[in-house]
Amino acid sequence: MTQLAPLPKVVLGSLAFGVFWMLAVFPSVPFLPIGRTAGALLGAVLMIVFHVISPDDAYASIDLPILGLLFATMVVGGYLKGAGMFKHLGALLAWRSQGGRDLLCRVCVVTALASALFTNDTCCVVLTEFVLELAAERNLPAKPFLLALATSANIGSSATPIGNPQNLVIAFNSKITFLQFFFGILPAMLAGIGVNTVMLLCMYWKDLEGASPDEVAAGKEMEAAEEGRSPASVLSLKCGTSPASANGAGLRHRQNGNGHDADSVMSENISTKHRWFMQCSEQRRKLFLKSFAYVVTVGMLVAYMLGLNMSWTAITTAIALVVVDFRDAEPCLDKVSYSLLVFFSGMFVTVSGFNKTGLPGAIWNFMAPYAKINHVSGVSVLSLIILLLSNLASNVPTVLLMGDEVAASAATISAAAVTRSWLLLAWVSTVAGNLSLLGSAANLIVCEQARRAQRNAHDLTFWSHVVFGVPSTLVVTAIGIPLIGKISI
């Protein structure tokens, strides 16, 4: 059982964690407006300066597989975006859409299913900016859709061992098979997605009364007519370009006498070209690259299901795309959010230091006698402990800390209770991520990606997330618990 560290270490470790937590929640506090990324590094440095954690342990606490997976999925997502996958997804979401409410439901369902297969972090990386543009095209507020994306990604990821990092840890330690895991949590996941979607609709019912894309376009044409703008300027508004840039593009097209516009020529202006690519038509080359992007992505998914290492599978997929693209990869790598990777590195060190204070373990030591899963009160207490620790020290450390203890406690009841205890830990620790922005890496990804979006940027604040996250987490968790383990194979 985990013991409390000496009092100075507990106090200083708690202080360092408090600094990290404050800056993660309020990245622009007046007395220290350094942002989340620098705040995470500050928390990590304080843990080392206060001798809560040694430098060697700090480096060891950085979860390189998660960072590698996150980096690789950003690269793969960039190539999939270039291959038009999200354009096709947008067409699917918008096909015969009946308005903002219908669109919100589709975002919830698609995100949940994709998160179970591609991990919640991956879906949030590649879908955030796309969802922002989808909402803006329909004159809809961004916040309901960002909340739908983040919360649905977390709930959907609970259904498979590859849905999120904590599920991977649980599947590895518990020896539960992929199918046992899937069918054990599937009923709870489906019920949770339904309840979460209904709660979103109820809370943002009036806000989802947006105009259709045609109505937005018609409004822009009317504004242009009233202001006396030319038809060319209206066309440029629809295309997302300025009139000058549109006219410039036409001029460049006319000046290029070989039948290709200047943008395509510039995109081919690279230092290395292979004769085989030069002999292929541009259309065939693009078709080949798009097809290859889809094929290797499906191969990555199959590899996940076969149990191959997720991080190196994703990195291999990303490098394969870079090599086959056969051009300088710097433009694609520039789109990776390196500040997000630095934030997670600092967070890993800070959380590891906080765990060394013994406070999270002390909470379990005190509550363990009341957390038996053979009666309702015990399950309730256990769920509250997991909810608390998952939001205090993150869900992956919570699983690492509590997994063996919870399983050992359940083993005194029955073998079936052990399996159910692992599944309960997976369900509650994953859904707990919806409580606040700090509860899940997926939430932070959505927040940072939305804030840094090139178009339609939106700042999803801590409090705007909490207002929906707290009731959603409590209700979804409570509804899912009785359904855990009902289907067994």
Domain of residue 85: give its range. Answer: 61-208+334-339+362-481
Of the given ranges (255-259, 302-306, 474-478), which has the lowest mean pLDDT? 255-259
- The per-residue pLDDT for range 198-226, each reduced to its tens digit, is 999 999 998 887 655 555 555 555 544 54
pLDDT category at 454 given cuts 50, 70, 90 is low
Task: Say if CB 41 and CB 346 are below 8 A apart.
Answer: yes
Residue 473 has pLDDT above 90, yes or no: yes
Q: Is position 239 within any domain?
A: no
Q: What residue type is assigned to position 217 of the chain?
A: A
Radius of gyration over every alpha carbon of the chain, rounded to an integer in angstroms: 25
End-to-end CA, the chain:
34
Residue 270 has pLDDT above 50, yes or no: no
Residue 48 has pLDDT above 50, yes or no: yes
Q: How is residue 365 written in tokens?
A: 């030591």
Residue 188 has pLDDT above 90, yes or no: yes
Mean pLDDT of 368-384: 85
Q: Is position 221 within any domain?
A: no
pLDDT for 221 equals 53
Mean pLDDT of 235-254: 38
What span, in angstroms and rounded, lies between the C-alpha atoms of 60 and 42?
18
User: What's the gap between Cα 376 and its chain centre?
Assistant: 32
**Pick from 485, 437, 356: nearest CA to 5:** 356
The CB-side HSE value for 320 (13 A sphere, CA atoms) comes to 19
233 vs 2, which has greater pLDDT?
Answer: 2
Please state, in angstroms and as integers, the Cα–Cα distance from residue 304 to each residue in 41, 164, 307, 406, 442, following that order: 32, 12, 5, 27, 19
The CB-side HSE value for 178 (13 A sphere, CA atoms) comes to 10
Residues comprising the chain, all counted: 489
Q: How is residue 13 written in tokens?
A: 């470790």
Q: Is position 489 within any domain?
A: no
Residue 169 has pLDDT above 90, yes or no: no
pLDDT for 250 equals 39
Task: Say if CB 464 and CB 416 are below 8 A apart.
Answer: no
User: Kindly report the CA angle at 248 between 244 and 251, in degrees rounded to 5?
Assistant: 145
Residue 321 has pLDDT above 90, yes or no: yes
User: Kindly report the CA angle at 426 between 425 and 428, in degrees rounded to 5?
Assistant: 65
Q: Which residues contact 74 (CB under 8 A, 6 or more apart)?
A: 125, 335, 336, 337
Q: Is position 24 within any domain?
A: no
Q: What residue type is assigned to position 341 of the chain?
A: L
What span, in angstroms and rounded, lies between the C-alpha atoms of 132 and 146?
8
Q: How is residue 271 written in tokens?
A: 């230092």
The H-or-E segment that residue 234 falls in is: helix 231-239
**Pick from 150, 165, 168, 171: nearest CA to 70:** 165
Q: Is position 347 within any domain?
A: no
125 vs 46, which has greater pLDDT?
Answer: 46
DSSP letters spanning 136-190: HHTT--HHHHHHHHHHHHHHHHTTSTTSSHHHHHHHHHH---HHHHHHHHHHHHH
pTM value is 0.69
Q: Mean pLDDT, the chain, as a whole number?
A: 80
Of the given ranges (22-26, 181-185, 375-379, 454-458), which has the lowest mean pLDDT? 454-458
107 vs 224, which has greater pLDDT?
Answer: 107
Q: Which residues contact 414 (CB under 8 A, 6 or more apart)?
A: none
The H-or-E segment that residue 289 falls in is: helix 282-305
Q: How is residue 190 written in tokens?
A: 């489906």
Residue 49 has pLDDT above 80, yes or no: yes
Number of Cβ atoms within 10 Å of the Cβ of 292: 16
Residue 63 has pLDDT above 50, yes or no: yes
Q: Is position 313 within any domain?
A: no
Q: What is the DSSP letter of 358?
A: T
Please state, in angstroms and as integers, the Cα–Cα distance from residue 259 to each residue in 30, 73, 242, 247, 278, following that order: 56, 36, 24, 18, 16
Domain count, the chain: 1
Residue 34 has pLDDT above 50, yes or no: yes
pLDDT for 42 equals 95
pLDDT > 90: percent of the chain: 27
Number of Cβ atoms within 10 Å of the Cβ of 404: 11
- The per-residue pLDDT for range 113-163, each reduced to its tens digit, is 988 887 788 788 878 888 888 888 888 898 999 999 999 999 999 998 888
pLDDT category at 263 given cuts 50, 70, 90 is very low
Mean pLDDT of 269-278: 48
pLDDT for 246 equals 39
Q: Is position 470 within any domain?
A: yes
DSSP letters spanning 298-322: HHHHHHHHTT--HHHHHHHHHHHHH
Q: How is residue 105 written in tokens?
A: 């439901």
pLDDT category at 247 given cuts 50, 70, 90 is very low
Of the given ranges (171-175, 179-183, 432-436, 456-460), which has the lowest mean pLDDT? 456-460
205 vs 260, which has greater pLDDT?
Answer: 205
Residue 353 has pLDDT above 60, yes or no: yes
Mean pLDDT of 455-477: 87
pLDDT for 278 equals 52
**Pick from 146, 163, 18, 20: nearest CA to 448:** 146
DSSP letters spanning 16-74: HHHHHHHHHH-TT-TT---HHHHHHHHHHHHHHHTTSS-HHHHHHHS-HHHHHHHHHHH
pLDDT category at 262 given cuts 50, 70, 90 is very low
pLDDT for 264 equals 37
What span, in angstroms and rounded, lies between the C-alpha atoms of 442 and 432?
12
Q: Is position 12 within any domain?
A: no
